[in-house]
Structure 1
Amino acid sequence: MSEERSTVATETGERAAAERMQNRPAPAGPGPGRFMAGSMPPEKALDFRGSLGRLLRLLKPQRAALLGVLVFGAASVALTVIGPKVLAEATDLIFAGVLGRSLPSGTPKDAIVDGLRARGDTTLADILGRVDLIPGQGVDFSSVGRVLAIVLALYVIGSFLGLVQARLTTSLVQQAVFRLRQDIEEKFARLPLRYFDRQPRGEVLSRVTNDIDNLAQSLQQTLSQIVTSLFTVIGVLVMMLLISPLLALIALLTVPVSVFVAAKIGKRAQPQFIRQWATTGKLNAHIEEMYTGHSLVRIFGRRAESEQVFAEQNETLYGASFRAQFISGTIQPAMMFLGNLNYALVAVIGALRVASGSLSLGDVQAFIQYSRQFSQPVTQIASMANLLQSGVASAERVFALLDADEQEPEPAHPAHPEVVRGRVEFEHVSFRYLPGTPLIEDLSLTVEPGQTVAIVGPTGAGKTTLVNLLMRFYEIDGGRITLDGADIGEMDREELRDKTGMVLQDAWLFGGTIAENIAYGADEATREEIVEAAKATYVDRFVRMLPEGYDTVLDDEGDTVSAGEKQLITVARAFLAKPAILILDEATSSVDTRTEVLIQRAMNSLRAGRTSFVIAHRLSTIRDADVILVMEDGHIVEQGDHETLLNSGGAYSRLYAAQFAEAMAETD
């Protein structure tokens, strides 16, 4: 995949030329020249239900863990919900003890109640009639202590089961996200090069980092909370109906209002979360681009303009984030207001029911607790809406990446060359980047094993496209390409690319030692083989002068060594891979003359006995090529060796003369 990414910059001119023919701008590719673009990507309506359903299907492989979450959650909630009802018994015991102590001892309770009714004190008579008391006897603290111990045990066990549920939820979510990251990594291997051509790197990185992290956090918090809240609502509702259907009906009156308010607020927050995460991706793309090209930004005096673009996009992100968080944040205060209103109604009517003797004081106390427990999960479910909206918005961006068009699948029975000698044949090949805009038409070419083929021509002529077709970074539209008689379209891509080595204009090194970078192209290369490849490509000359030698650690930009030394390391990497076909794409265009000589010598060693394709603008570097192809507008207009083409007075002769005149002008 690193090879695919490395070819993007080299072919930008060809794609741009093709798209200019259709009078439309080239897509944004990598490089510092794109930071002028600051427009917002078009917003799409969030398919909330579809994306949420697909998100939940990620949990399907962990059915057992999901069942455990539900079981332990239900058990934890059940024990917690029973607690207030049991605690109500302690309240009734204390209330009965306080009332009983104030009554005359030895007098039956029924006689006291009848006497109160006879005097017209029916309210107190109803209260005493409801309470299970013994006149003259105070609070039974042993019974109260027993009830409190039971309540404590219920809450401790319920909390323990809640911890088990939380652990299962964490494992469930993290495994789902783990698989999602794996799916994305595998998806990258199946995406065609054209996808990366048209996606800013910062945007892709934002989807696989920020969006997945936000998705994981949202799923972690909402899954556990919603499961617990739903079970709590059901359990509390059952207990309230058992205590008092009238008070339960009053408590339920606020539910439709709460759902309506949450739905209205959530609907307004949806587009803001979409805008927030889309802007985050665009801002990341700008930052990544400016950091990568910070030298050019400073050289061309574009720092102020870059800062202005950053400020505009940051302001847009601030506005979208503020609106998303503020709008969704109003859900909880609204729910709290409705919950407090419900609490007041239950308290007043519950007191009247106690006064009428319809309910005990403990039942009312338990019901008030239940009403708070009922409104709290409803409020939590509503407040989870903002997290859920944000998580689903991120999930939709990740799913869009996973749903991107893939390259053609590998054949079920791939073709294999019987003997790999390096004979390459293009047979009436046609290709276009854009429908209706031909770039290469009816191109035929035969390259014999061991030949060096140089490809020259103006920018956009199709030079890099030609070798990209050979590597199957793009699929041809017509004709076929064969390697030693086997159609590469029927070969396994990995096998085809394993037989091919590339040295590109932009030397790509990863963070690691010089030895590791050289060995990148060969599996299980020994130290002796690495040193041998380095000596053959003149890398050993400067590596031995470094304090750590081959163990010198390079950063991911390769700033520890010069541009020419980086290029020599990439040549050594290709040399160690021992490919049958070698592709050199402007490998010396960005180095000085002395370094160019070293690289040319290294590449001569590398090309020995191999079929080589050399793309070059400096015609002086390809004089010794066996065949020189001159391309214009996707066609081979001339081919032959250097002397033949130079004497023909055609396109190659004009290119050579133009470069010679340019060199003379620079000398003058």
Structure 2
Amino acid sequence: MSKEKESGTAFDFRLFKRVFAYTRPYRLIFWVVAITAIFLSAFAICTPVLVKRIINEALPNKDAGQLTFLVLLMGGVLLGQVVSQLSFNYYANLLGESVIKDLRIRLFKKMMAFKMTYFDKSSIGLLVTRTVADMQRIGEIFSQGFFVIVSDLLKMVAAAGVMLYMNWRLALIVFAIMPIILVATRLFQKAMKVAFIEVRAQVSNLNSFVQERIAGMKIVQLFNREAIEKEKFRAINEKHQNAWLKTVWYNSIFFPVAEISFSIGIGLVVYFGVIMRIESAQLDNVGSIFAFFFLMDLLFRPLRQIADKFNTLQMGMVAANRVFKILDTDSHIADTGTQEVSKVKGNLNFENVTFSYVPGEEVLHGISFNVKAGETVAIVGATGAGKSTIINLLNRFYEIDSGTIKIDGIAIKDFTLQSLRSHIAIVLQDVFLFADTIKNNIALNSDKVDIRAIEAAAKAIGVHDFINELPDGYNYNVKERGTMLSSGQRQLIAFLRAYVSNPSILILDEATSSVDTYTEQLIQEATNKITEGRTSIIIAHRLATIKKADKIIVMDAGEIIEMGTHQELLDKQGYYRDLYEAQFMAKEAV
């Protein structure tokens, strides 16, 4: 933001050109808006010309026919102006909405391809602001900004031309006031750009704060932080208010200056117009003075509006700059693989894999192990040992620093991302459910999964009865993040979702804390069913799972320190036995 403030430029034409590149698919609409803008200018100029003729010709000559003709002609001009204005407003908004529709889709697609590290470091509220609020600001570039400015400029040029044609001396008197408004407008534009950058920054901060506190409301209330968070919100809201008040202050200065200049212009036209009329007869008639009043309005009013519309344009440009920064971010997993395999056996090989979330801070140190197709492997270790990192790397949520991960002898980077992840299913400890029905949360709106397949899978792993007991059964809406279900119920839905996808490789973060005995029994039965006949990697939290595993990998501080079956590792009387006695046996006793 500081760089933008220090740039000192009131308008970024490179950015403007980039925004307008999105209008190319809508060239017809673009030209309709441009043509109607020209018509608006032409109709606006016709009115003062007709007024002049009415006052100078029809009224003095008492020519009823000419008066009727000119009045009807003026009515036609007004009708044309109304039609042009309606067309201009509709198609300018249509163009803006079409552009932001395409841009929003592109932004969302871009964000879906980002590495997990990007989301680890980014505020959700900020990304929501970019996708929703900032997009609307970009749309206003077209609906309320650029084209309105162009239309007003055309009116000003046409008005100035007609004024020079009517009386160039009087026109020059009017033009002498223009530099005052032009200088004020230029200073206003520069000040408003800086102000709007600050406004958008404060809007993002406000959105981020509110989103995080609402999402974490349980923690806020649990630790009695209502008063503290209220004070934090008050401070952030005050900064937001001050940022907006700065724009109000600039407007409060500029528009009175513009109004005073306009009033001075009217006074000078009246004064010098009358003097010319009386003393030197350089002004032909009274009608020209009235025409000048209309023309001055067309000259000064658009200038005031241009400054106002430039505010809108600036806010749109600031928003566009923020959106393009996300679009220009290079933080995606390179999907350069060519292997698309319809079925994999499930043999896994980790060969000397190293990884760091932060460059220079390695969290996995040369991890190597093999899993045969159909085997169940349990990974145990203290918090921070690197268990979840292995899961993330297998799915290519992050890129490894060195080494190789293979499935059936093929490096995972050689698979297309879609093909790789289609063979892997994960049940995470922190289950995420969308604000939708149970059916849609299981199928994830896939056309390949119907309700009959879901019900059959639910019966197979023993959760059909639990779902049927809910209101509306499979059509029960679980609300945001599945808050209408208990943690155990959410995990059962996650098991069913994984089972329905029929993966070759299954990964379970098998946490069952804070669940009742019945739900835990259902989870154990579901675990046994969905791991049957497929390669399974389980971050083990329960003794029963560990004992049944074909192999146990013991991790500590990013390294594999022991590997073997449950009994083999107990017989070693090493780290695993100590962990088993201190952690797993204690949990079973509880």
TM-score, with structure 2 as normaliser: 0.94
Q: Deviations over 1:537-561 (max 9, x none)?
A: 2211222323422232321232333
- SS of residue in 1 equivalent to 2:481: coil
Aligned to 2:18: 54
Aligned to 2:48: 84
CA displacement at 1:648 relative to structure 2: 1.2
Aligned to 2:317: 392
- Structure 1: distance between partners of 2:102 and 2:240: 30
CA displacement at 1:614 relative to structure 2: 0.7
- SS of residue in 2 equivalent to 1:433: strand
Kept in 1, the 8 Å contact 2:343–2:504? The answer is no
Kept in 2, the 8 Å contact 1:177–1:212? The answer is yes
- SS of residue in 1 equivalent to 2:361: coil
**Unaligned 5+ residue runs, structure 1?**
1-40, 98-138
Query: What is the correspondence of 1:57-456 to structure 2 with a 5 Å cutoff?
Result: 57-93=21-57, 96-97=60-61, 139-355=62-278, 356-360=280-284, 361-411=286-336, 414-417=338-341, 420-456=344-380
Kept in 1, the 8 Å contact 2:54–2:67? The answer is yes
Kept in 1, the 8 Å contact 2:341–2:419? The answer is no
Aligned to 1:7: none
Kept in 2, the 8 Å contact 1:420–1:484? The answer is yes
CA displacement at 1:333 relative to structure 2: 2.3
- Structure 2: distance between partners of 1:187 and 1:533: 34
Q: Deviations over 1:329-386 (max 9, x none)?
A: 4322221121111221122112222222212222222122211211111111112222
Aligned to 1:112: none
Kindly provide the amino acid, as one letter, of the partner of residue 304 in structure 2: T
- Structure 2: distance between partners of 1:282 and 1:236: 45
CA displacement at 1:227 relative to structure 2: 2.1
- Structure 2: distance between partners of 1:51 and 1:390: 13
Kindly provide the amino acid, as one letter, of the partner of residue 481 in structure 1: I
Kindly provide the amino acid, as one letter, of the partner of residue 137 in structure 2: N
Kept in 2, the 8 Å contact 1:422–1:483? The answer is yes
- SS of residue in 2 equivalent to 1:350: helix
Query: What is the correspondence of 1:455-534 to structure 2 with a 5 Å cutoff?
Result: 455-520=379-444, 523-534=447-458
Kindly provide the amino acid, as one letter, of the partner of residue 196 in structure 2: F
- Structure 2: distance between partners of 1:418 and 1:154: 68
Kept in 2, the 8 Å contact 1:415–1:490? The answer is yes
Kindly provide the amino acid, as one letter, of the partner of residue 294 in structure 2: Q
CA displacement at 1:435 relative to structure 2: 1.5
Kept in 2, the 8 Å contact 1:415–1:487? The answer is no
CA displacement at 1:187 relative to structure 2: 0.9
Q: Deviations over 1:439-471 (max 9, x none)?
A: 223222211101111111222221111111110
- SS of residue in 1 equivalent to 2:272: helix
Aligned to 1:32: none
Kept in 2, the 8 Å contact 1:521–1:577? The answer is no
User: Is 1:576 matched up with 2:486?
Assistant: no
- Structure 2: distance between partners of 1:416 and 1:548: 39
CA displacement at 1:598 relative to structure 2: 2.0
- Structure 1: distance between partners of 2:217 and 2:343: 48
Kindly provide the amino acid, as one letter, of the partner of residue 520 in structure 2: E
Kept in 1, the 8 Å contact 2:511–2:541? The answer is no
- Structure 1: distance between partners of 2:480 and 2:563: 40
- Structure 1: distance between partners of 2:585 and 2:566: 18
Decide whether aligned partners of structure 1 residues 304 and 231 sit closer, same or farther in structure 2, where only a CA change above 3 A counts.
Answer: same
Kept in 1, the 8 Å contact 2:108–2:131? The answer is no
- Structure 2: distance between partners of 1:525 and 1:190: 24
Q: Deviations over 1:612-639 (max 9, x none)?
A: 1111344553221111111122211111
Decide whether aligned partners of structure 1 residues 349 and 439 sit closer, same or farther in structure 2, where only a CA change above 3 A counts.
Answer: same
- SS of residue in 2 equivalent to 1:439: strand
Kindly provide the amino acid, as one letter, of the partner of residue 403 in structure 1: D
CA displacement at 1:502 relative to structure 2: 0.7
Aligned to 2:577: 653
- SS of residue in 2 equivalent to 1:455: strand
Decide whether aligned partners of structure 1 residues 325 and 208 sit closer, same or farther in structure 2, where only a CA change above 3 A counts.
Answer: farther
- Structure 1: distance between partners of 2:481 and 2:333: 33
Kindly provide the amino acid, as one letter, of the partner of residue 271 in structure 1: V
- SS of residue in 2 equivalent to 1:405: coil
- SS of residue in 2 equivalent to 1:449: coil
Q: Report how many aligned residue pairs link the two structures.
A: 584
CA displacement at 1:660 relative to structure 2: 5.3
- Structure 2: distance between partners of 1:53 and 1:418: 45
- Structure 2: distance between partners of 1:240 and 1:81: 10
Decide whether aligned partners of structure 1 residues 72 and 548 sit closer, same or farther in structure 2, where only a CA change above 3 A counts.
Answer: closer
- SS of residue in 1 equivalent to 2:482: coil
Aligned to 1:136: none
CA displacement at 1:254 relative to structure 2: 2.3
Kept in 2, the 8 Å contact 1:87–1:148? The answer is no
CA displacement at 1:581 relative to structure 2: 0.4
- SS of residue in 2 equivalent to 1:583: strand
- SS of residue in 2 equivalent to 1:511: coil
Kept in 1, the 8 Å contact 2:371–2:377? The answer is yes
TM-score, with structure 1 as normaliser: 0.83
- Structure 2: distance between partners of 1:502 and 1:660: 23
Kindly provide the amino acid, as one letter, of the partner of residue 357 in structure 1: A
Kept in 2, the 8 Å contact 1:202–1:289? The answer is yes
CA displacement at 1:521 relative to structure 2: 8.0
Kept in 2, the 8 Å contact 1:462–1:633? The answer is yes
Identity %: 33
- Structure 1: distance between partners of 2:482 and 2:56: 78
- Structure 2: distance between partners of 1:339 and 1:320: 30
> Which structure has the larger Rg over C-alpha atoms?
1
Query: What is the correspondence of 1:548-563 to structure 2 with a 5 Å cutoff?
Result: 548-563=472-487
CA displacement at 1:661 relative to structure 2: 7.2
Decide whether aligned partners of structure 1 residues 81 and 533 sit closer, same or farther in structure 2, where only a CA change above 3 A counts.
Answer: same
CA displacement at 1:663 relative to structure 2: 4.7
- Structure 2: distance between partners of 1:94 and 1:86: 10
- SS of residue in 2 equivalent to 1:330: helix
Kept in 1, the 8 Å contact 2:44–2:81? The answer is yes
**Unaligned 5+ residue runs, structure 2?**
none
Kept in 2, the 8 Å contact 1:343–1:372? The answer is no
- Structure 2: distance between partners of 1:328 and 1:400: 29
User: Is 1:546 matched up with 2:510?
Assistant: no
- SS of residue in 1 equivalent to 2:288: helix
Aligned to 1:626: 550
- SS of residue in 1 equivalent to 2:493: helix
- Structure 1: distance between partners of 2:493 and 2:445: 11
Cα RMSD between the aligned structures? 2.2
- Structure 2: distance between partners of 1:493 and 1:211: 30
- Structure 2: distance between partners of 1:472 and 1:195: 14
Q: Deviations over 1:485-526 (max 9, x none)?
A: 221102111111111111011122222322332223864323
Kept in 2, the 8 Å contact 1:79–1:155? The answer is yes
- Structure 1: distance between partners of 2:456 and 2:342: 30
- SS of residue in 1 equivalent to 2:362: coil
CA displacement at 1:303 relative to structure 2: 1.5
Q: Deviations over 1:215-251 (max 9, x none)?
A: 3235411134212101101111111111112222222
- Structure 1: distance between partners of 2:20 and 2:178: 26
